[in-house]
């Protein structure tokens, strides 16, 4: 459900009777349609907090007969959570406007993702390392990343009026976590923090190594590298990353897991295992978009690292190698200034089935 920027973000509770009256229904009408006892409805009719007291079975019967009730229940549910995390952010010293939240929700990610992002911000400001990585890890995914980008972006598109306090706390958390553990949530949450801070500041805030021997360090190394590519367009960083992948099987495995889980083609397995086969439809669509629009450093990463690793897993690349090849040819024909990218792109095209 979308929310416009000028709507109240935190939806005020309404009595059941007000919801019925907006649908031109009286209590007698609702009793007749729902087959609920009048005594049950009378206890809820003028109570603003009826939703906290109604049973699941009664709510189902009401939803079946009251237009707009399901939408109201949804709005109240995420509105309540948003209200809680916004208060926590305010108490932690973050300046977030309802207008920016509303604008993000109008065409962006679901409200649930926005609330999780804000919960991560609140945890970061309190230096709650467990809460920060746990919430950040739940932001792994293409839709969730839209909300995270809004958190880690400057005005006018960012959620924060002043990024400095969050960046300061984020850098402190990097030192506290120091790479974290190999658990799924700590690895992903720490890696996301490394990536976002790198993308925002231009400098990798942690000591990441291309000689990774643990999955947490492999994920962090990739996270920092992608942040550099997106921030500075440094093709040298992509060249170094590609060489590292050629020399380190763990990095190649992490690359495959990262791409396919981020685009929801494969599950986020707790042990980072991968199924032998699996469709790559979402990843293929993302590759096509990125080939057409990314900066040249990221384009080099796609043709030397991401796409070759994906092709190793599935030679047909979700039966879409033709579309990938077409997008790459079109991009090269439009003109690429870095000869290393042109050479790598031509090499990939020649090798594709």
Give the DSSP letter string of 1-45: ----TTS-SSPPP--HHHHHHHTT--HHHHHHHH---HHHHHHHT
Entry pTM:
0.85
Of 322, 214, 338, 321, give the one whose Cα is nearest residue 271: 214
In a domain, 159, yes or no: no
DSSP bridge partners of 96: 160
Of 189, 121, 186, give the one whose Cα is nearest residue 153: 121
Dist. CA 230–CA 296, nearest whole Å: 10
In a domain, 93, yes or no: no
Helix (H) or strand (E) holding 168: helix 164-177
In a domain, 185, yes or no: no
In a domain, 111, yes or no: no
Dist. CA 324–CA 313, nearest whole Å: 16
In a domain, 46, yes or no: yes
Which residues span the domain enclosing 33? Answer: 16-77
Per-residue model confidence as pLDDT tens for the chain (353 residues): 334 333 344 467 899 999 999 999 999 999 999 999 999 999 999 999 999 899 999 999 999 999 999 989 988 888 888 889 999 999 999 998 777 888 888 877 888 999 999 999 999 999 999 999 999 999 999 999 999 999 998 877 789 989 999 999 999 999 999 877 789 999 999 999 999 999 999 999 998 988 888 999 999 999 999 999 999 999 999 999 999 999 999 999 999 999 999 999 988 887 778 776 667 889 988 999 999 999 999 999 999 999 999 888 876 665 567 888 999 999 999 999 999 999 999 999 998 87
In a domain, 226, yes or no: no
Give the count of domains, the chain: 1
Dist. CA 319–CA 81, nearest whole Å: 42
Dist. CA 220–CA 179, nearest whole Å: 8
DSSP bridge partners of 160: 96
In a domain, 281, yes or no: no
Q: Count Cα atoms within 13 angstroms, Cβ side, for 190.
A: 28
């Amino acid at each position: 459900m979308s929310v416009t920027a000028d709507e109240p973000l935190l939806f005020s509770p309404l009595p059941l009777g007000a919801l019925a009256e907006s649908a031109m229904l009286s209590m007698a009408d609702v009793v007749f349609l729902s087959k609920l006892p009048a005594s049950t409805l009378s206890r809820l009719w003028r109570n603003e907090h009826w939703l906290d007291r109604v049973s699941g079975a009664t709510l189902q019967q009401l939803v079946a007969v009251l237009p707009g009730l399901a939408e109201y229940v949804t709005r109240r549910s995420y509105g309540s959570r948003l209200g809680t995390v916004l208060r926590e952010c305010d108490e932690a010293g973050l300046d977030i406007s309802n207008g920016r939240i509303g604008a993000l929700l109008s065409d962006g990610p679901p409200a649930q993702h926005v609330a999780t992002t804000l919960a991560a911000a609140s945890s970061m400001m309190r230096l709650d390392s467990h809460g920060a990585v746990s919430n950040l890890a739940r932001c792994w995914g293409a839709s969730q990343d839209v909300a995270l980008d809004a958190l880690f972006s400057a005005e006018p598109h960012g959620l924060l009026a002043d990024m400095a306090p969050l960046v300061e706390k984020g850098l402190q958390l990097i030192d506290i976590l120091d790479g974290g553990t190999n658990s799924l949530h700590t690895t992903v949450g720490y890696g996301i923090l490394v990536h976002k801070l790198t993308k925002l500041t231009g400098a990798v805030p942690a000591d990441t190594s291309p000689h990774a021997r643990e999955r947490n360090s492999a994920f962090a190394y990739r996270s920092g590298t992608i942040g550099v590519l997106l921030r500075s367009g440094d093709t040298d960083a992509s060249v170094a990353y590609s060489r590292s992948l050629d020399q380190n099987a763990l990095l190649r495995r992490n690359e495959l897991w990262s791409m396919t889980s981020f685009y929801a083609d494969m599950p986020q397995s707790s042990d980072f295992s991968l199924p032998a086969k699996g469709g790559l439809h979402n990843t293929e669509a993302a590759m096509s978009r990125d080939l057409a629009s990314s900066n040249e450093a990221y384009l080099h990463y796609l043709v030397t690292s991401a796409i070759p690793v994906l092709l190793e897993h599935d030679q047909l690349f979700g039966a879409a190698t033709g579309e990938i090849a077409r997008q790459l040819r079109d991009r090269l024909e439009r003109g690429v200034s870095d000869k290393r990218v042109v050479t790598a792109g031509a090499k990939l095209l020649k090798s594709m089935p």
